[in-house]
Structures are given as structure tokens and as C-alpha cells.
């Protein structure tokens, strides 16, 4: 598999704080790559080094097989980025903003091409509306449209869903998945919202205090046997008692206000539903409680959902 980003031994020191500490990782072509860490872990500092906004103290960065120090212009021409909240001209329309960014990128894009970009991010119907009338989620999608205006192979997004409501988060999630699956873009996305990364990332890197903790494909990094499922039924007390007497009894914890908490292998979740039906219990809801979050917290010393449910 081709590698789009290769980082080796990256170090960045600010006064007496080492923000990035000997960081190395690789980003495969065509993937959504999650860059995870708590606030202050060094994510934004790393991204700024990838975009040449700040200079590393040590280490090497290769993007598209080229050294970033020696081939800065060539690399940035193939890279799009949105850093935190995009800075748009709120008294201009979306189309005017996109045309301005295209000009700044040295492109002579036709109005048809720009409208296609807006359509791609779901904003074609609001192309002639001023940005000041946009929701935060719409502004974020417009920011991604400006990052796409020169059709880059790599898109870097720094906390793109911060501050969005559930609808805005879903819109950005669907857009990222579409860019990856339908257009073959490589997307490097930083976040501390683990539940979202579990939904969209193919691979991930977890850092803490500037150091790499783990890197790899999401499905291979955490134990599917430790999936916590919260089940709400028509009679939780009866369901909990019946399940405790069944073959699943070792996984069942006490029923609480949110339902019954069960630690189970992910592949056995359908069997759990079938068992409840066999026992004559109605299932009102079933929710998997983010095993990626459990994994992350176990690495960084926090308490997992599984531990919290047991207490």
C-alpha cells in the first residue's frame, strides 16, 4: 500500500515544554486516518509542522514521497487543510468566498466548477447566500470546499467537528466518508471525540504528551471481546435475571437506570438480541458503548465505560 505521509522522529520544543516528542507514523493512501489525543497532547502542533506553519526542531517529514523541507511548494499544491474553524468572509456569499480562495490558490476555476465543489459539500442550494447566514456546520463544510478547490490528494482536518450540534457532526462525518470512499482522498483528521473516530477512521494514531502510544488499523487495536452493550428492555429486572441464568450470565452486570450493561464479544451481539427474544423480553434499544474509548482511556490512564459500569 502506498504511503502518503511518513513522519520520523519529529520533535518540537516550546520553552520548557516538549509538545511533540520523537513522533513517528505513516499514513496509507486512500484512508481516513484518525489522529487522536486529549487536548494539549500535541495534535495541533504536529499538524502545523505538516503544513510548514512551524518548523520541527528534529525529525523528517515526507509527503507524497517528497521531503517537506525540500519540496514544500509541490507538496502544498497537492494538500488541502482546514485548521480549527475556517475563517470565511461572512459578508460574501459561499460562491464568492470559493472564487476568492481559488484565485488565491492560483486557479482560474469556472463558475460551473465552483458550483460542483459546493454541490459536493451539500451547499449548492445556498451558493448565493451570505456566509453570515450559515450555521456553524455549514461554515465547516464551506471550509472543506475551499480546501478541495484545487483537487488535492491529501486533506488535513484539525478538529473539524468541534462545537457542532449533532446534525452538523453527522453532515461532516458523511462528507468525510464520501471524500474517502467515492473520491479516493486521503484524509488526516485530528480529534479528541473518540466515538466519531470509531465511525469513520480506517487507521489511527493515539498520542499523549507528544509521544506515540499506539498506531494501527482501528479494528485490530482494541479487543472486540470487551465491547460494552447497554440494553433497554420492557422489563430490565426480569431480563437481567433471565440472562444471568443463560449462557451469557458471565457477561451480565446489574440493571441500572440506563438499562442492562453487558460486556460481550462484538460478534455475539446478534446472539444477545436473539436470546432476549427467545426469553420473551421486548428490546427497546441496544447501544454499543465505544470500545475505542475504553481502549484510549486504558492507554492514557483514564476510567473506561466498562470499569464505570462495574462500579
Q: Please give the pLDDT value at position 223.
A: 61
Query: Quick count: other Cβ atoms within 10 Å of Cβ 255?
Result: 20
Q: Please give the pLDDT value at position 311.
A: 44
| C-alpha span between 223 and 231 (Å, rounded) | 20
Q: Does the global pTM surpass 0.85?
A: no
Question: Is the per-residue pLDDT at 3 higher than 90?
Answer: yes
Q: 76-80, 84-88, 273-277: which range is least confident on average?
A: 84-88
Instruction: For 236-250, write each residue's pLDDT tens digit.
Output: 888 888 887 777 655
**Listing from the earlier edge strand, what are the strands of the sheet with 58-63?**
17-28, 3-14, 58-63, 66-67
Using DSSP's 3-state secondary structure scheme, residue 229 falls into strand
Instruction: For 150-163, write each residue's pLDDT tens digit.
Output: 889 999 999 888 87
Q: What is the bridge-based pairing of β-strands 3-14 and 283-288?
A: unpaired
**What is the chain's percent helix, strand, coil content, to nearest 5?**
40, 30, 30
Report the chain's mean pLDDT, rounded to a whole number: 85
* Residues 49 and 12: beta-carbon distance below 8 Å: yes
Question: Is the per-residue pLDDT at 181 higher than 70?
Answer: yes
Lookup: cell for 277: 427474544
Where is pLDDT greater, at 108 or 51? 51
Q: 106-110, 176-180, 234-238, 243-247: which range is least confident on average?
A: 243-247
Q: Please give the pLDDT value at position 253.
A: 65
- The domains of the chain are located at 3-221, 224-310
Instruction: For 26-35, write each residue's pLDDT tens digit.
Output: 999 999 999 9
Question: Is the per-residue pLDDT at 293 higher than 90?
Answer: no
Q: Please give the pLDDT value at position 13.
A: 96
Lookup: cell for 23: 513522533
Q: Please give the pLDDT value at position 305.
A: 39
Asked: is 224-310 a CATH 3.30.70 domain? The reply is: yes
Q: What percentage of the chain exceeds 90 in pLDDT?
A: 45
Where is pLDDT greater, at 124 or 289? 124
Asked: is 3-221 a CATH 3.40.50.300 domain? The reply is: yes
Amino acid at each position: 500500500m502506498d504511503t502518503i505521509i511518513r513522519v520520523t522522529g519529529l520533535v518540537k520544543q516550546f520553552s520548557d515544554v516538549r509538545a511533540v516528542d520523537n513522533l513517528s507514523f505513516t499514513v496509507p493512501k486512500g484512508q481516513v486516518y484518525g489522529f487522536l489525543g486529549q487536548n494539549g497532547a500535541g495534535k495541533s502542533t504536529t499538524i502545523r509542522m505538516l503544513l510548514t506553519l512551524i518548523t520541527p526542531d528534529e525529525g523528517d517529514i515526507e509527503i507524497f514521497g517528497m521531503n517537506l523541507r525540500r519540496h514544500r511548494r509541490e507538496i502544498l499544491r497537492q494538500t488541502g487543510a482546514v485548521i480549527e474553524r475556517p475563517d470565511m468572509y461572512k459578508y460574501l456569499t459561499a460562491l464568492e468566498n470559493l472564487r476568492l480562495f481559488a484565485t488565491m490558490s492560483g486557479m482560474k476555476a469556472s463558475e460551473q466548477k465552483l458550483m460542483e465543489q459546493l454541490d459536493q459539500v451539500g451547499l449548492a442550494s445556498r451558493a448565493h447566500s451570505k456566509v453570515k447566514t450559515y450555521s456553524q456546520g455549514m461554515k465547516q463544510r464551506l471550509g472543506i470546499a475551499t480546501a478541495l478547490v484545487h483537487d488535492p490528494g491529501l486533506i488535513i482536518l484539525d478538529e473539524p467537528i468541534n462545537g457542532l450540534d449533532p446534525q452538523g457532526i453527522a453532515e461532516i462525518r458523511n462528507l468525510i466518508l464520501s471524500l474517502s470512499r467515492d473520491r479516493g482522498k486521503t484524509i488526516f483528521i485530528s480529534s479528541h471525540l473518540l466515538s466519531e473516530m470509531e465511525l469513520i477512521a480506517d487507521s489511527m494514531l493515539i498520542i499523549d504528551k507528544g509521544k506515540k502510544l499506539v498506531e494501527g488499523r482501528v479494528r485490530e487495536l482494541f479487543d472486540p471481546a470487551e465491547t460494552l452493550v447497554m440494553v433497554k428492555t420492557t422489563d430490565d429486572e426480569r431480563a437481567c435475571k433471565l440472562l444471568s441464568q443463560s449462557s451469557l450470565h458471565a457477561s451480565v452486570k446489574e440493571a441500572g437506570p440506563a438499562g442492562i450493561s453487558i460486556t460481550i464479544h462484538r460478534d455475539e451481539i446478534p446472539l444477545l438480541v436473539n436470546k432476549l427474544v427467545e426469553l420473551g423480553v421486548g428490546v427497546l434499544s441496544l447501544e454499543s458503548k465505544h470500545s475505542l474509548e475504553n481502549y484510549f482511556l486504558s492507554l492514557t490512564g483514564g476510567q473506561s465505560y466498562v470499569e464505570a459500569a462495574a462500579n
